[in-house]
Amino acid sequence: QVQLVESGGGLVQPGGSLRLSCAASGFTSNYYVIGWFRQAPGREREGVACISRSSGTTYYRDSVKGRFSISRDNAKRTVYLQMNSLKPEDTAVYYCATSSSWSRAVTWDYDYWGQGTQVTVSS
Protein backbone atom coordinates (compact mmCIF):
# COMPACT_ATOMS: atom_id res chain seq x y z
CA GLN A 1 0.00 0.00 0.00
CA VAL A 2 2.83 2.41 0.81
CA GLN A 3 4.46 3.48 -2.42
CA LEU A 4 7.62 5.46 -3.04
CA VAL A 5 8.51 6.41 -6.60
CA GLU A 6 11.88 7.86 -7.52
CA SER A 7 12.55 9.91 -10.61
CA GLY A 8 15.16 12.24 -12.05
CA GLY A 9 18.09 9.92 -12.62
CA GLY A 10 20.13 9.88 -15.77
CA LEU A 11 23.55 10.32 -17.30
CA VAL A 12 25.58 13.36 -16.30
CA GLN A 13 29.19 14.45 -16.75
CA PRO A 14 31.54 14.78 -13.79
CA GLY A 15 30.96 18.11 -12.11
CA GLY A 16 27.37 18.21 -13.27
CA SER A 17 24.12 18.23 -11.33
CA LEU A 18 20.93 16.21 -11.03
CA ARG A 19 17.85 16.52 -8.88
CA LEU A 20 16.11 13.36 -7.78
CA SER A 21 12.50 13.26 -6.61
CA CYS A 22 10.74 10.81 -4.32
CA ALA A 23 6.95 10.87 -4.40
CA ALA A 24 5.17 9.11 -1.54
CA SER A 25 1.61 7.81 -1.34
CA GLY A 26 -0.58 5.24 0.37
CA PHE A 27 0.66 5.65 3.94
CA THR A 28 -1.52 4.01 6.57
CA SER A 29 0.57 5.22 9.52
CA ASN A 30 2.93 8.10 10.21
CA TYR A 31 6.44 7.88 8.79
CA TYR A 32 8.40 10.90 9.84
CA VAL A 33 11.66 10.59 7.90
CA ILE A 34 12.49 10.12 4.24
CA GLY A 35 15.97 8.99 3.28
CA TRP A 36 17.99 8.51 0.14
CA PHE A 37 20.21 5.48 -0.36
CA ARG A 38 22.41 4.29 -3.18
CA GLN A 39 23.87 1.02 -4.35
CA ALA A 40 26.51 0.46 -6.99
CA PRO A 41 27.05 -2.95 -8.61
CA GLY A 42 29.04 -5.23 -6.33
CA ARG A 43 28.82 -2.85 -3.38
CA GLU A 44 26.64 -2.63 -0.32
CA ARG A 45 23.75 -0.23 -0.13
CA GLU A 46 24.64 2.95 1.72
CA GLY A 47 22.65 5.78 3.19
CA VAL A 48 23.12 9.16 1.54
CA ALA A 49 20.86 11.66 3.29
CA CYS A 50 17.63 11.90 5.21
CA ILE A 51 15.15 14.56 6.25
CA SER A 52 12.49 14.88 8.92
CA ARG A 53 9.13 15.57 7.30
CA SER A 54 7.99 17.73 10.21
CA SER A 55 11.03 19.78 11.23
CA GLY A 56 13.12 19.66 8.06
CA THR A 57 16.19 18.51 9.98
CA THR A 58 18.72 16.89 7.66
CA TYR A 59 21.53 14.39 7.95
CA TYR A 60 24.16 13.49 5.34
CA ARG A 61 26.75 10.89 4.61
CA ASP A 62 30.20 12.46 4.95
CA SER A 63 31.14 11.87 1.33
CA VAL A 64 28.25 13.98 0.03
CA LYS A 65 28.30 16.85 2.54
CA GLY A 66 28.58 20.17 0.76
CA ARG A 67 27.59 18.63 -2.58
CA PHE A 68 24.15 17.10 -1.98
CA SER A 69 21.13 18.77 -0.45
CA ILE A 70 17.92 17.06 0.66
CA SER A 71 14.65 18.97 0.91
CA ARG A 72 10.95 18.29 1.17
CA ASP A 73 7.63 19.62 -0.04
CA ASN A 74 5.10 18.15 2.34
CA ALA A 75 2.11 19.47 0.40
CA LYS A 76 3.29 17.44 -2.59
CA ARG A 77 4.41 14.54 -0.39
CA THR A 78 7.71 14.72 -2.23
CA VAL A 79 11.34 14.72 -1.12
CA TYR A 80 14.17 15.91 -3.34
CA LEU A 81 17.86 15.21 -3.51
CA GLN A 82 19.82 17.95 -5.26
CA MET A 83 23.17 16.54 -6.33
CA ASN A 84 25.91 18.96 -7.38
CA SER A 85 29.57 18.51 -8.26
CA LEU A 86 28.89 14.91 -9.17
CA LYS A 87 31.76 12.45 -9.27
CA PRO A 88 32.07 9.07 -11.01
CA GLU A 89 31.97 7.40 -7.61
CA ASP A 90 28.44 8.76 -7.17
CA THR A 91 27.28 6.37 -9.90
CA ALA A 92 24.66 4.04 -8.42
CA VAL A 93 21.00 3.20 -8.27
CA TYR A 94 19.44 5.69 -5.88
CA TYR A 95 16.52 4.65 -3.69
CA CYS A 96 14.26 6.56 -1.37
CA ALA A 97 12.86 5.02 1.78
CA THR A 98 10.92 5.98 4.88
CA SER A 99 11.56 5.49 8.59
CA SER A 100 9.31 6.00 11.60
CA SER A 101 11.65 7.98 13.84
CA TRP A 102 14.70 10.20 13.65
CA SER A 103 16.76 7.93 15.90
CA ARG A 104 16.19 5.02 13.55
CA ALA A 105 16.67 7.09 10.44
CA VAL A 106 20.14 8.38 11.26
CA THR A 107 21.33 4.80 11.66
CA TRP A 108 19.84 4.03 8.24
CA ASP A 109 17.07 1.81 9.59
CA TYR A 110 14.12 2.12 7.18
CA ASP A 111 10.91 0.26 6.41
CA TYR A 112 9.57 0.98 2.91
CA TRP A 113 11.52 1.39 -0.28
CA GLY A 114 11.10 2.61 -3.80
CA GLN A 115 12.38 0.77 -6.85
CA GLY A 116 15.24 3.13 -7.56
CA THR A 117 16.50 5.43 -10.28
CA GLN A 118 19.84 5.08 -12.04
CA VAL A 119 22.43 7.84 -11.76
CA THR A 120 25.48 7.53 -13.98
CA VAL A 121 28.33 10.04 -13.77
CA SER A 122 30.66 9.60 -16.71
CA SER A 123 32.50 11.49 -19.42
pLDDT tens profile 16-69: 999 999 999 876 456 789 999 999 999 999 999 999 988 999 999 999 999 999
pLDDT value at residue 30? 64
Q: Which amino acid is at 111?
A: D
∠ Cα 23 65 32 (to 5°): 35
DSSP 101: -
Query: Residue 102: pLDDT band by 50, 70, 90 thresholds?
Result: very high
Query: Residue 1: pLDDT band by 50, 70, 90 thresholds?
Result: confident
Residues for the chain: how many in total? Answer: 123
pLDDT mean over 99-123: 95
Distance of alpha carbon 19 from the chain centroid: 10
Cα 48 to Cα 64: distance, rounded to the nearest angstrom: 7
Identify which has the larger pLDDT, 1 or 13: 13
∠ Cα 101 112 27 (to 5°): 80
Main-chain dihedrals φ then ψ at residue 51, nearest 5 degrees? -145, 140
Phi-psi region of 108 (alpha: psi -120 to 50; beta: other; left: phi over 0): left
pLDDT value at residue 47? 98
